[in-house]
Copies of this chain bind each other. A is one copy, B any other.
Amino acid sequence: MPDMTEKDTQATASWSFASREDRRAIENGLDFAPKFDADGLIPAIATDHETGQVLMVAYMNEESLRQTLALGEAVYFSRSRSKLWHKGATSGHVQVVREILTDCDQDALVLRVEQRGPGCCHNGFRSCFYRRVQFPAKEAAPSMEQTLSPVFDVEKVYGGG
């Protein structure tokens, strides 16, 4: 997981996302009708707005998506801690959201972000995707190789307590 800092955030306005009754409108319309799954979550993929590098995959509930839209910085929902998570609020590694895209079914989001600080991963990497699977794998279990080097000191940023 990426770093798990968060801070209290304000409740957002009371407008509603669009209805998901009309499949044609969901796919071809311009009303934003995101699909939250049985747990109330939608996957959000954060990518570097300049390079396209996938930085991390996290989840949003309705409130975290509202706050992201209002704040212009990524606010996720931490599944492990069951709470809102304003990414980078204490580490300073916030994600300034330049663009939010959704797909045909509106059941996934892409956040094109400006990653503040050296990286988003709690293990000290620019991206959480720092390993590549070796394949083809036909006869044996695939191994991996590391593709990124750490870019910050985890202890200094998250440690000390």
Chain A contacts to B: CB under 8 angstroms:
1-2, 12-13, 15-18, 27-28, 30-32, 43, 45, 47-48, 51-54, 56-57, 66, 69-72, 97, 99-105, 107-108, 110, 121-123, 125, 128-133, 135-147
Contact B54 A110 (CB under 8 A): yes
**Nearest CB in chain B to that of A131: its residue:** B102
Copies in the complex: 2
Contact A101 to B17, CB < 8 A, known contacts A12-B138, A57-B43, A136-B72: no
A107 to B143, CA, bound (A): 16
**Nearest CB in chain B to that of A123: its residue:** B104
Contact B101 A133 (CB under 8 A): yes
